[in-house]
Amino acid sequence: MKIINLRTYLLFLAPAFILFLLFYAAPIFSGFYYGFTDWRGFSFSANWVGLDNFVNVFKDPLFTTALRNIFILSVIVLLVQHVLAILFAVVLDQKLKGVSWMRAVIFYPAILNTVVIGYVWSYMYSPFVGFLPKMFDRLGLDGLAAIDWLGRPDIAIFSIAFVIIWQYIGYSMMIYMAGLQSIPQDIYESASIDGAGARQKFFRITLPLLMPAITVNTVLSVIGNLKQFEHIWVMTQGGPANSTQVFGSLIYQFAFKTSQPGYGTAMAMVLSVFILVVTFTQIRLLSRWEVKY
Amino acid sequence: MSATAMIRAKKISSYGLALCAMVVILIPLFVLATVSLQDPAAGPNPLRLPDSFHWSNYSDAIEKGRLLLYFRNSMTVLVLTTSITLLASVLAGYALRHGKPWKGDLIFTFFLMGLILPGFAGTIQSFLLLRELSLLNTHIGLSIVQTSGGMALPIFLYLQFFKTLPLEIEEAAVIDGCSPIKLFWKIVFPLTLPVTSTCVIIIALNSWNDFFSPLVYLPSPDMRTLPTGLMAFRMQYSTQWQQLFAAAVLIAAPFTLLYVFIQRYIIKGLVGGAVKG
């Protein structure tokens, strides 16, 4: 039986479809045209210049830096945040006293505003007056106390990676915990009867059955890191000496600071294709590891 | 080692690990709170509690940082974005549920791009479009942009929910002569309350914390929302940590208070959205 007719169907779909088409899809997809032009961005008019922008993008040392930085962010977050989050999820899934409060505290930074986080961590890292230099000074670790964590081009990106992990580790943990709770308990019981130890249970049962959660969680996190803009912009704006530039900050600068939107758009298109390829590959690879039970 | 001793060792190491995690999470927040109350005339000291509480940092921050104005702007955008997004996505989710399956999937894939592609890839084009429509520098314009990029997840959650809803309820109503629109508002929509509350949490939090779109689409200082307003405040008073931190505490306060009272629902909403997505 038909519940709604075609007219109602279209009427209901229209608001979302039009909003999405007009303000999300069309702007992004028109980028595939503007990337091939000398567009200045003050109006919709532009002249075709062929592949010039794309050639320049791939020759640009900033492009290489951005690629390196999103690679660093993605890999560190994958290794540190997700490995630790699985560990925390397993530990905090037990019946411990006050465990729901511990989870809530570890999750809390995920709901904080990036500007607030940027403030706090800029201060934690800041030379002389900040928490880390003062604490290392108090502990007598002069070498560490003298480090300018966000000011040194060789370590700034790692300092930012740490902040991202600090903010989202609880979020990942809760997703893994939801995954853990979907594993049927009788599998563990029969494994115990068969004489499996804790380590065997973790690597032979927990981890394989957690794979769907690992796929969702790591895919979301890699997409987020490839699109990174806010943490970078609030803490370093791509500096010092462009060492923390990511695609987000570069595209923003090319569009609004140096008014080279055609070039910025070409870069955005390269990033979009890159994200689609990485996401697709990651889902294919990870879903191969998923087991059914 | 005996079995009880092993269980005990495991418990102790679990508590130890949880404690370490909590300390690392809490230290920056603790520093934020203490420094915001320290004497603005002296240098900030993260390792010491304030001798006396300088609440004036807060009133100064509100005044100098124009926080009341930004709060009102943020609130306006939050209410607009949440209502537009909810309405558009619940209607679309319902339509997709009852449309032809392959068409529904195709259209849904289209919306899904909103989760994957970087929104900033179309920034300048949207900027020009808003300018053409005289929506640049308006809160409604910002809300429309936030809605367009934030609908994918709510539509998906609604679609999943409607699939679990038994058709008999709706069929009975149609047989009784109920019009589609009345059926939707009187019978279907009230049943969506659990999904709707999840969606409200996700949409409202994203809107409140959004930094990029207000930075781009609200160039006028009077229109700024809290995140961009705070960023501007920091650019201006970059060495005044005490007042900056007071402002930061204030922007974090509304959702923190909510979180303290209904954290279980907030976590469930945010995590549930990601897991099902």
B169-228 pLDDT tens trace: 888 888 888 888 888 888 899 999 999 999 999 999 999 999 999 999 999 999 999 999
Measured between beta carbons, the chain B residues lying within 8 angstroms of A43 are 128
**Distance (Å) from the C-alpha of residue A81 to the closest C-alpha of chain B?**
12
Angle between helices A131-138 and A114-125 (to 10 degrees): 30
Burial of B47 (0-12, 13-18, 19+ CB in 10 A): exposed
Residue A293 clears pLDDT 70, i.e. is over it: no
pLDDT level of residue A20 (50, 70, 90 thresholds): very high
Among A45-54, A151-160, B196-205, B217-226, the least confident range: A45-54
- The pLDDT value recorded for residue B1 is 60
Angle made by CA atoms B36, B40, B42, in degrees to the nearest 5: 120
Q: Which residues of chain B have pLDDT under 70?
A: 1, 101-104, 276-277
Nearest CA to B271 among B188, B170, B176, B201? B201
Burial of B51 (0-12, 13-18, 19+ CB in 10 A): exposed
Contact A107 B267 (CB under 8 A): yes
Three-class SS of residue A19? helix
Evaluate if pTM is beyond 0.80. Answer: yes
CATH fold of A66-287, please? MetI-like fold (1.10.3720)
Percent pLDDT > 70 in chain A is 99
Q: Is A94 left (phi over 0), alpha (psi -120 to 50) or beta?
A: beta
Q: What is the mean pLDDT of chain A?
A: 91
- The pLDDT value recorded for residue B107 is 81
Give which of B34, B57, B117 to mutate to test A binding, by max A Cβ within 10 Å: B117
Considering only alpha carbons, which residue of chain B is nearest residue A136? B47
Is the minimum CB–CB distance between A79 and chain B shorter than 8 Å?
A: no
Measured between beta carbons, the chain A residues lying within 8 angstroms of B178 are none
ipTM of the modeled complex: 0.92
Measured between beta carbons, the chain B residues lying within 8 angstroms of A100 are 264
Mean pLDDT, rounded, for A248-255 = 89
